[in-house]
Structures are given as structure tokens and as C-alpha cells.
Amino acid sequence: MADNITLEIARYSPEQDAKPHFESFQVPVHKEWVVLDALNHIKDKLDGSLTYRWSCRMGICGSCGMMVNGEPKLTCATFLSSYVRNGNKIRVEPLRYFPVVRDLVTELTDFLAKLKKVRPWLIRRDDLRPTEGEFLQTPGQLDAYKQFSMCINCTLCYAACPVVGLDPIFVGPAAIALAQRYNKDSRDQGADERMAVLAHPEGVWGCTFVGECTRVCPKHVDPAGAIQQYKLSAVLDWMKAFVKPRGHQAVRRESAND
Amino acid sequence: MNQPTIKAAPTYTEFHPRWYRPHVSVYWWLGQWQYLKFILRELSSVAVAVFVVITLFQLRALRNGPEAYARFQHWLQTPLAIALNTVSFLFVVFHTITWFNLAPSAMPIRFRGKRLPDLLLAAPNYIVWAVVSFAVAWLILR
Amino acid sequence: MPICALIRAAPSGTAASGESMDGSSHDVLLVGGGGAGLRAAIAAAEVNPKLRIAVVSKVYPMRSHTVSAEGGAAGVVKPDDSLDEHAYDTISGGDWLCDQDAVEAFVKEAPEELLRLEHWGCPWSREPDGHIAVRAFGGMKKRRTWFAADKTGFHMLHTLFQTTLKYEPITRYDEWFVTKLLVDDGRVQGVVAIELMSGRIQAITAKAVILCTGGCGRVFPFTTNANIKNGDGMALAYRAGAPLKDMEFVQYHPTGLPFTGILITEAARAEGGYMLNKDGYRYLQDYNLGKPEPKPVLRSMELGPRDRLSQAFVKEDQKGRTIPTPYGSVVHLDLRHLGEKIINAKLPFVRELCLKYQNIDPVKELVPVRPVVHYMMGGVSTDINGTTPLAGLYAAGEVACVSINGANRLGSNSLPECLVFGARAGQAAAQFAAEQKAPDGKTVAQAIDEQRRLETQFLRKTGGWERIAILREQMQKSVESGAGIYREERSVTEASNTLRELQERFANISLDDHSRTFNTELQSALELGFMLDVAESIVQCALSRTESRGAHQRTDFPARDDQNFLAHSVVYRQADGSSRVEYLPVKITRWAPGERVYGEQTKEQPQALPVRRAS
């Protein structure tokens, strides 16, 4: 294995730069090192001003997402050794389609607002107290939504989705997957409340099934699958409404911008 | 300098002077093989439309009598028509395969607690496609 | 942009108004947005929906370290179990250093809190009939650990975070780093924090402040803890005059992957994993932990308490029976006999982590593991309601020491601890805040001082020469040698001297990054300052406690000394920067101190004294 590897890192400091530029650093290659270890080595020993987010370094907190050679990746789970074979150079940039605050740090307020829009909490019409026991849920019912509950909010899917890049108001893969996590939870009764945001041109109908979100997801959540499933169920609901109109549960067409 | 009061966590912040917003190029779809494949897939619907139009012309030629039909058949043998048909055929096959492979992701069917694999759900489509194609080919070529 | 414009001096005539001069004033302020912080915020919002609640966190809440907890959360729900048994397991697991009134309240409220979380949507694993499933866990005599596959903390944190989104009174300050508590008139009145995105420094005043910043694993070189666990809240409280309690009790988790320190959950052992030395021998049977059986036996062998397992590793290592690797010696965790089906159903994340970070498939190969710093039993001294001796300051979660964990925490007790004491602290703080008038403007001067300190010591300074990473590595090395699994006077004293020297060298630190925008180097420097204070308190407490109990083992004082040390060490910061250690007796209610026994001998549980009725 080669001794050193070159990291080309996007640098941007709004106080000095009008736009990002690249800086190169030489980093020693160890078999166990991931790209995050290389970034830490640079920050500790070479240039303390290199700025990036990280926390758990085990792929569960979702902080360390970055573009590595043009692919959205969690840098704590991307090994240097795989790049040594492929040309010995690694290009590290902030996640695509997000505003850049500094170096490799992106701005996430928009993303969090989209998560909140889909009402990602358990909605119930009754008021059962905890002391009255748990809601029963069989392992089969748990499996129906379990995959969608694995999302770590790393936003790699937003960096992979061209619709997010071209249409900033599109709700996005992770938010819709999270909505489906609750819609398919047997304990939840709030699918109607989420419909206005989801069955909307900036909701699921904004998705053109590019499928990149599912390919890059590090936790195999399959947001593309979640979106297509919702499209199918939205269409079926729409057809059923002709046969048996639901009266007070009629869909409210609200703007996606509230 | 005015210090903004923090009332609640900000929601949409559409413009902030210091954040860098990279421009998304019109040629974004050339940047990555997966994006290019997606655009070609979407464009393949044009090939489907091309075949529909050719079929409509064929029906009109049928209605207008044997000479019109002969002229239509002659046109079909020109290099332009052959190229158009070949390219459209390839795109339609691409269209069909990608559609069959993607459609199952909208239908999670569970059997005995496990989700059936996508390929298993896509298989009936392929089988029907193959059977119908053979049947039509046998009808025409016998 | 002139920084002095960011903090305006109080215009005269407005000092009496409730609004802080800096425009942000709340009733209850949480520092930290993890399991305890979010639970406390919801509890405060439910006490009184008119309260203005702020959650100030240096990371987005779903990045908090609660997210990486794997194993489970203990709560008594099955008919064959009882609150007394959970209490006894906890108290004996803590080597009788637990405050028993707090433990009794904890075991009683834990099941309700876990059910409340289920009602909020937490995807607990289930039995075939739909009821909550429970599993065995280390140190517990009965099966009472609830779990959500092997990502319990992840599911709990995301459920809590998503639930807080529906409470309008909760305002989140995401990526704001708290540097100091504002104290005036003997009362905490808010915090000073840096908004990382813009670099502006602002005072956020509040009538009550709850610290939920987690533990301090990063004080040690090899830890399961994330980069963000620097003991921020402990240092903030310590500097403000609140005492820290039981700081010498640091938990080493027996199974961490070498090099990364990534945790292999205790659930792997609860499902039946074995721990083998280099000869393939289940060495725990040599250390008074019972006889090896093919299936896991509760409170025995691999299901013994974490401190005893980690200590057994050190002794095996001294006998030369561990396996050397470039990243320290290891033993092996054997999961092969469980089979692929069970591992994929119950331990999928463990398999994923081993494959990714060690290139090892636990279905077919042995997993190398070694003890790794995991949890801090000690912390900010609180009572049973999360109240500290400093008025207006509360604490909950790993940052606090109530103490229910005593000298050694049992696995699956810390997640319900966040919920139970988060809720209690939230309610107590909300009630306190309802009775207070708003903080006056006198704390603005402190905020301006703090801003000046940050500028002169870090941002605008030239001429320093020390690098953060070097001081941090030396601190970690000295704390490990002085306050590791086994301690003795000479090495602890040496560590204490090294730390003092590092504090002096810290004054000469130099930063490469002088920018205002998202300055993570400044953040690292401030975190190092916090860690040095916390390390000092750990080492002083370890030096003072001349006995061995639970996770604190002195080779020069190997016996437990209930006569002198059935008490919590309480450490205060002195004016000159040194520390003073006092002792506070443990509250014993119904369980008299006894022998900690694991293995076959634990067939009979000692009878608890009957509950005393109020006369």
C-alpha cells in the first residue's frame, strides 16, 4: 500500500473568499483509517482552520456527510484504502445542493423545516395514558415501517437528488420516508393530516424516481421506495374517493409553503 | 447594528449573504452516469410516442387503399425509417426493462413476514412480455 | 464587523424590564439536546404550556450521543419481576454507593417513562403477541431490558426529537456552544453562548437552567464516546460553584473494538456471547463470576457487571493470556454459536459494525475486544429532583450524579435514567421558574467580560505556541495512567501534577483559525479547557478515596471500606483553581450494604427491609 495519499479539500471562508477553492494535503495511509481520520489528522497537525462536522465516528449520528470524489458519503465509514487503488487522490467537498456555511459545513435549517412539515410524530385521536399499557404491535406490524425508521438524517439523499438541486422547495426523500414511517406505523392515525404536504406537487409528485437517494443511503432506508409507495396509495385513495366520498376527511389543498 | 431577536427557530432562510450557493448547471445530467441513464430513461417515452405515430400513419395508409399502403411500406424501407425504428425499438426495450424493474418498489408485498424480492415481483411482467412477443411473432411470421 | 456591537450595554431605564438586553429571555433553558434534555423540555412544556423553553445545543439534537446507545433500557413490566429486585440489582451493582431513595424512585418511574415513549411512537421490539419484549442484561437477575433491535438509543432519541417538534413553546438554538453560566445573586440566570454559524456571542437569560450535556469520555484516550462528549456541563457547573460528585467512578465497558473504540453492545453477551482468552478459554470463571454454562445465566460469567469484567481483563493481561495487537491487547468475543439467524434478528448493527470496522463477520469469526471508557457515573451533584445546590441550576442524564449508579452502572439503566430524571428536572425547573421574576440586566456585564475573554485568550491572540491536539493527547495519556482501571497513589499524583502543568500550558495555546464563521478550532480549545477542569476533579477524587469500590480500584487499598467511605466524594473548585474534596454519606433506606456476589451464589436475594409507613 502507498505511504501517502493526497486529499483535495474544498475551502471557503466567507470573510475572505467569494467562492470556494481547493487545497491539497498529504496524509499518511493506514489500513484502518477512514476519510474522517485523515481530516482529523489535517486539522490536528497541519491546518487547524479546516472546518467540518463529526461526532460519533460509527455511522449513526449522521453529522459527517460530505462529497468524496463526487459521491455523497459518510466520511466516518469511507476507508482511505479504497481510494489508494483508484488513483491515490481524494476530492472532498461539502454536500451538494446545500448552501455552504464554511469549508465542508452545509446549512441545514431548510432540511429541518422540511422534516417538521410532514408532522413526524405519532398522531392519535384517543388519549391513552401510559399507565394503561402499551399499544400492541406485532413483529409483522413493526416490520411494515421499520426500514423507514432507520434514517439518521445524514442528508446524503438530498445531495444525490437532482430534483432537490433544481427545485429547492421539493420536500425531499428523507422527509417523505419519515412521513411514511409514521403513516405505516399501525399505532398512527395521522395519515390524513400528512396528506396535504405529501400529495402535493412539491411533495411526492415532485419526485421523478431518479433513484439516487436509495443508492446512496448508508442505512438502506430506501426513500425512493417510500415515495413510490405513497404515490400508489395516493392514487388509490383518490380513486376510492369517487366511490365513497369521505366528507369531513376531504383533502385540504394547502400551499407547501406554510 | 440591529440585533435580530430570536423568536423561534428560523424556517426558510432563502437568502443569506455569506452562504455560498453553488449554481446548478443546465447540464447537471451530464455530470454522472446515473443521472444520464435517468434522462435517457425519461426520453425513452418519446420513442414510445414515435411508435404510436408510425402506427397511426400505418392505419391511415391502410384506410387510403393499396397504393397508399405500398407507398408507406416503401417509406419504411428507407434508411431514415430503418434508423428511426431501430433506435426507437432499442429505447422502448430500455423503457420496458427499467419500468418492470422499478415498478415493484411501489408495491411491498409481504409473505410470511418477509418482503418479497423486487425481481420476483418483476418476473411475471417479463414472462407475459416474452409469451406475448412469441405469440405475435409466430402469428406474423408463420 | 465590530464585535462590541454584538453585545449592547444596557440602556438606562430598562433594567427593570423582564426582557434581557440581548433580546432572548426564557423561563427554562436546557443546555444539551439529547435524551435527558429533550425529555426535560417536554416535561417543562407539559407542566405549563405558557413557559418559554429553550434548548441550546452545540450540535443538532439528533446528533447527540444518546443516538449511539445500543443495548436497551430497563423497566419492570413482566409479572415475574418486581421493583425491589430491580432496585437491589442496581444497588448491589453500584457497590452500595447508590442513594437508595433515588433508586427506589427510579425503578418505580422507569416503566412508565418507557411506556410513555412507546406512546410517542418508539419502535420497541415485540413478542409475537404484540407486547413489549424484554431481554437479559449484565448484572440483572431478571429479564427486564426493553430494546429496539440493537439501536435503542437511536430510536429513543429520534422519537423524542420528533415529538418535541410538536411543542410550540420549545425554541431550539441549534449549534450554539455554551461557554459560561451566568450567575448573579447566588442564582443562575442564564448562559453565554456562541452561535457557531455566525460567531456572535450572546447572553441567553433564563429563570432556570438545566444541564443535560452528557459525560466526559473524551478525557480518556480510548473511549466509545463521540467527539462531543467533553464534560461541558460538568465544567460549567464546577466553574460556577456547584459541586461535582463521585468523579472518580469511570466505567470501562468490557467490549470495545480496538483502534476505533466502537462499542460492541452488552446485548451480544446477553444473547449468549462468550469471552475467550488466547487459549479459547472462558476466563471469567477464574474471577468469582460463576461457572461457565452453554446458555447465558443471569448475573453470572459474561452477564456479570461491567467493572468486574474489565478488571478481569486487566488481570488476564498481566498473566499474559490476552492476544497482542498493534492497538493494544485484546480478548475474543465469540458469537459464532448463536447462528446467523439470531445475529441478524437481534444483533444486526453489531454485525454491521464488525464487518465495516474490523473486516470480521461475527457469524463466522471471533471479534477482538478490549475494555474501553464508556460512561461517567460521577457528575454534577443533584438531588432526587435534579436540583443542584446552586439555585436555578439543575442537571439530568449522564452529566448528573443523583446518584442511582453508585460506583458502577448496570447496563440498560442509563437510558431510563435520562428519561426519569430528565422529566423530574424539567418539572422542578418549570415550577422554580414559575415562581421567579425575570433575570435583571446585571448579567450583561458578565456576558461582555466573557466575550472579551474569548477574544483575548483565543481569537485575537498572537504569540501562543501550544497546539490543541498535543495538549489534548497528553491530558488523555496522563488521565489514563493515573485514573485507569487500576489506580495507585504514585501514578494518580503524577497525573495530578501533569494536569496542573497542562493547565498552565493551556494559557499559551495558539489557534490557526481566527475566523468568526463556524470556528470549530475555537470550540475544540474551549472543550479542552472544560476537559482539563473535569480531569482535575477526576484525579483529585481518585487520590482522596483510599479504598476500592466498584469501578474505582486502588491497588494500594484493595478492600472496600464502608466505615469511612460509604459516602460520595463531593469536589468543589477553590478560588485558586485547585479542588477540595469532601464526603457526603450515602442514603441507605432498605438495603443494608452487603457482599457483591455474582455467579452461582446469587440464588437467594437478600431480603430488603420492609417499607416504613409514615407514622
Cis peptide before C510 (omega within 30 of 0): no
- Cα–Cα distance between B83 and C323 in angstroms, integer? 69
Q: Is C477 helix (H, G, I), strand (E, B) or coil?
A: helix
Co-location of B79 and B46 in the same domain: yes
Mutation for A interface: C126, C200, C351, most A CBs within 10 A? C126
Given a contact cutoff of 8 angstroms between Cβ atoms, the answer to whether C251 and C307 are in contact is yes
Q: Which tens digit of pLDDT belongs to each residue from C256-289? A: 999 999 999 998 999 999 999 999 999 999 999 9
What confidence score (pLDDT) does residue C242 get? 97
Q: Rounded to 10 degrees, what is the CA torsion of C129, C135, C140, C145? A: -80
Mutation for C interface: B1, B5, B6, B11, most C CBs within 10 A? B6
**Distance to chain A for B51, nearest Cα, Å:** 23
Do A222 and B102 count as a contact with CB atoms less than 8 A apart?
no
Which of B13, B28, B108 has the CB atom closest to A165's CB atom?
A: B28
Q: Which tens digit of pLDDT belongs to each residue from A211-258? A: 999 999 999 999 999 999 999 999 998 898 888 766 544 443 333 333
Report yes or no on B102 lying in a domain. no
Q: Please report residues of B whose CB lies closer than 8 A to that of C24.
A: 5-6
Q: Which of residues 154-193 of A touch B (CB under 8 A)?
A: 162, 165-166
What confidence score (pLDDT) does residue C13 get? 28
Residue C42, strand partner residues:
none
The sign of the dihedral angle between the CA atoms of C235, C238, C241, C242 is positive
Q: Which tens digit of pLDDT belongs to each residue from B20-42? A: 998 899 999 998 999 999 999 99
Q: Which tens digit of pLDDT belongs to each residue from C18-64? A: 223 344 789 999 999 999 999 999 999 999 999 999 999 999 999 99
**Distance to chain C for A165, nearest Cα, Å:** 22
Cell of B117: 424480492
Co-location of B74 and B113 in the same domain: no
Q: Is B112 on the interface with C (CB under 8 A)?
A: no
Separation in Å, CA A220 to CA A147, A174, A213, A215, C480? 7, 12, 10, 8, 38
Mutation for C interface: A17, A23, A32, most C CBs within 10 A? A32
Separation in Å, CA A44 to CA A30, A34, C31, C158? 17, 16, 27, 32
Instruction: Tell me the average pLDDT across C582-600.
Output: 90
Q: How far is CA B119 from the centre of its chain?
A: 19
What confidence score (pLDDT) does residue C503 get? 95
Co-location of B86 and B29 in the same domain: yes
Number of structural domains (chain B) is 2
Do A225 and B11 count as a contact with CB atoms less than 8 A apart?
no
Q: Please report residues of A whose CB lies closer than 8 A to that of C158.
A: 149
Do C1 and B6 count as a contact with CB atoms less than 8 A apart?
no
A-B C-beta contacts closer than 8 Å: 79
Q: Is C343 helix (H, G, I), strand (E, B) or coil?
A: helix
What confidence score (pLDDT) does residue C16 get? 30
Place of cell 408495491: B107
What confidence score (pLDDT) does residue A252 get? 39
State the angle between helix axes of A223-243 and A191-198 in degrees (0 to 180), rounded to the nearest 10.
110
Do C63 and A63 count as a contact with CB atoms less than 8 A apart?
yes
Q: What is the CATH number of the domain that holds B81?
A: 1.20.1300.10
Given a contact cutoff of 8 angstroms between Cβ atoms, the answer to whether A155 and A174 are in contact is yes
Average pLDDT, chain C: 91
Report yes or no on B16 lying in a domain. no
C571 by Cβ neighbours in 10 Å (0-12 / 13-18 / 19+) ranks as buried
List the single residue in A with minimal CA-CA distance to B108: A229
Residue A106, strand partner residues:
A100
Statement: residue C534 has pLDDT above 70:
yes
Statement: residue C466 has pLDDT above 50:
yes
Report yes or no on B74 lying in a domain. yes
- Cα–Cα distance between C559 and C549 in angstroms, integer? 8
Q: Is B32 on the interface with A (CB under 8 A)?
A: yes
- Cα–Cα distance between C11 and C14 in angstroms, integer? 6
Report yes or no on B84 lying in a domain. yes
What homologous superfamily is domain A4-106 in, according to CATH? Beta-grasp domain (3.10.20.30)
Statement: residue B14 has pLDDT above 90:
no
Instruction: Tell me the average pLDDT across C182-209.
Output: 93
Q: Rounded to 10 degrees, what is the CA torsion of A74, A80, A85, A90? A: 70
Separation in Å, CA C603 to CA A190, C142, C298, C402, C598? 49, 12, 10, 30, 9
Cβ-based neighbour number of residue A245 at 10 Å:
9
- C8 vs A129, higher pLDDT: A129
Cα of first residue to Cα of last residue in chain B, in angstroms, is: 87
Report yes or no on B101 lying in a domain. no
Q: CB within 8 A of A221, min separation 6: which ones?
A: A147, A148, A150, A151, A174, A177, A214
Do A102 and C163 count as a contact with CB atoms less than 8 A apart?
no
Q: CB within 8 A of C173, min separation 6: which ones?
A: B6, B9, C54, C55, C56, C57, C193, C195, C204
Q: CB within 8 A of B65, min separation 6: which ones?
A: none
Co-location of B46 and B76 in the same domain: yes
State the angle between helix axes of C152-164 and C35-47 in degrees (0 to 180), rounded to the nearest 10.
30
Cell of B85: 425504428
- Cα–Cα distance between A209 and B38 in angstroms, integer? 9
Cα of first residue to Cα of last residue in chain C, in angstroms, is: 68
Statement: residue B13 has pLDDT above 50:
no
Do B110 and A140 count as a contact with CB atoms less than 8 A apart?
yes
Mutation for C interface: B1, B2, B3, B16, most C CBs within 10 A? B3
Residue C263, strand partner residues:
C256
**Distance to chain A for C333, nearest Cα, Å:** 19
Q: Are strands C170-174 and C53-57 parallel, antiparallel or unpaired?
A: parallel
List the single residue in C with minimal CA-CA distance to A182: C121
Q: Is C37 helix (H, G, I), strand (E, B) or coil?
A: helix
Given a contact cutoff of 8 angstroms between Cβ atoms, the answer to whether C193 and C201 are in contact is yes
Q: Which tens digit of pLDDT belongs to each residue from C301-324? A: 999 999 999 999 999 999 999 999
The sign of the dihedral angle between the CA atoms of A30, A32, A37, A41 is negative
Backbone region of residue C472 per phi and psi (left: phi > 0; alpha: psi in -120 to 50; beta: other values): alpha
Nearest by Cα to C63 from A54, A91, A32, A88: A54
Instruction: Tell me the average pLDDT across C140-157.
Output: 94
Q: Please report residues of A whose CB lies closer than 8 A to that of C469.
A: 43-45
Report yes or no on B15 lying in a domain. no
Q: So what's the ipTM on this one?
A: 0.94
Do B9 and C5 count as a contact with CB atoms less than 8 A apart?
no
Instruction: Tell me the average pLDDT across C194-203.
Output: 90
Nearest by Cα to B114 from A143, A221, C348: A143
Q: Please report residues of A whose CB lies closer than 8 A to that of C119.
A: 122, 128, 130, 134-135
Q: Please report residues of B whose CB lies closer than 8 A to that of C517.
A: 18
Q: Are strands A21-28 and A4-11 parallel, antiparallel or unpaired?
A: antiparallel
Cell of C82: 418486581
What confidence score (pLDDT) does residue C3 get? 36
- Cα–Cα distance between C401 and C413 in angstroms, integer? 13
What confidence score (pLDDT) does residue B3 get? 38
The set of chains that have 3 or more CB pairs under 8 A with A is B, C
Q: What percent of chain C has pLDDT over 90?
A: 83
| Side chain identity, residue C152 | T
Place of cell 404515490: A231
**Distance to chain C for A113, nearest Cα, Å:** 10
**Distance to chain C for A116, nearest Cα, Å:** 7
**Under CATH, what is the fold of the domain A109-257?**
Fumarate Reductase Iron-sulfur Protein; Chain B, domain 2 (1.10.1060)
What confidence score (pLDDT) does residue C15 get? 29
The full set of domain ranges for chain A reads 4-106, 109-257
- Cα–Cα distance between C207 and A230 in angstroms, integer? 46
Q: Please report residues of B whose CB lies closer than 8 A to that of A211.
A: 34, 38, 102
Q: Please report residues of B whose CB lies closer than 8 A to that of A222.
A: 105
Place of cell 464487518: C355
DSSP annotation of C347 = -
Q: Is C176 on the interface with B (CB under 8 A)?
A: no
**Angle at Cα B11 formed by Cα C209 and Cα C50, nearest 5°?**
40
**Distance to chain B for C452, nearest Cα, Å:** 19
Backbone region of residue C87 per phi and psi (left: phi > 0; alpha: psi in -120 to 50; beta: other values): alpha
Instruction: Tell me the average pLDDT across C514-539.
Output: 96
Cell of C454: 474569548
Q: CB within 8 A of A231, min separation 6: which ones?
A: A204, A205, A207, B106
Q: Which tens digit of pLDDT belongs to each residue from C113-126? A: 999 999 999 999 99
- Cα–Cα distance between C62 and C121 in angstroms, integer? 16
Q: Please indicate whether the domains covering A4-106 and A109-257 agree at the CATH topology level.
A: no
Report yes or no on B19 lying in a domain. no
**Distance to chain A for B28, nearest Cα, Å:** 8
Given a contact cutoff of 8 angstroms between Cβ atoms, the answer to whether C96 and C406 are in contact is yes
- Residues of the domain holding B121: 107-142
Report yes or no on B86 lying in a domain. yes
Q: Are strands B114-115 and C187-195 parallel, antiparallel or unpaired?
A: unpaired
Q: Please report residues of C whose CB lies closer than 8 A to that of A112.
A: 60, 174
Co-location of B77 and B117 in the same domain: no
Contacts 24+ apart (CB under 8 A), B110-115: B110/A140, B110/A143, B110/A144, B113/A139, B113/A140, B113/A143, B115/A143
Q: Is B10 on the interface with A (CB under 8 A)?
A: yes
pLDDT classification of C606: cutoffs 50, 70, 90: low
Give the largest Cα separation in chain A, rounded. Answer: 70
CB crowding C286-324: b at 16 or more within 10 Å, else e: ebebbeeeeebbbbbbbbbbbbbbbbbbbebbeeebbbe
- Cα–Cα distance between C269 and C275 in angstroms, integer? 8
Co-location of B32 and B77 in the same domain: yes
Do A165 and B105 count as a contact with CB atoms less than 8 A apart?
no
Q: Please report residues of C whose CB lies closer than 8 A to that of A52.
A: 520
**H-only helix segments in C203-347:** 232-240, 267-270, 306-318, 340-346
Catalytic residues of C: 253, 269
Cell of C384: 432526587
Which of C132, C353, C513 has the CB atom closest to A134's CB atom?
A: C132
Q: How many CA atoms lie within 13 A of A227 on its CB side?
A: 29
The set of chains that have 3 or more CB pairs under 8 A with C is A, B
pLDDT classification of B117: cutoffs 50, 70, 90: confident
What confidence score (pLDDT) does residue C12 get? 31
Place of cell 494500594: C556
**Angle at Cα C475 formed by Cα C469 and Cα C481, nearest 5°?**
135
- Cα–Cα distance between C500 and C23 in angstroms, integer? 39
Separation in Å, CA B12 to CA A110, C99, C164? 5, 48, 19
**Distance to chain B for A210, nearest Cα, Å:** 6
Co-location of B87 and B111 in the same domain: no
Tens-digit pLDDT string for chain A (258 aa)? 568 999 999 999 998 999 999 999 999 999 899 999 999 999 999 999 999 999 999 999 999 999 999 999 999 999 999 898 767 889 999 999 999 999 999 999 999 999 999 999 999 988 778 788 899 999 999 999 999 999 999 999 999 999 999 999 999 999 999 999 999 999 999 999 999 999 999 999 999 999 999 999 999 999 999 999 999 999 998 898 888 766 544 443 333 333
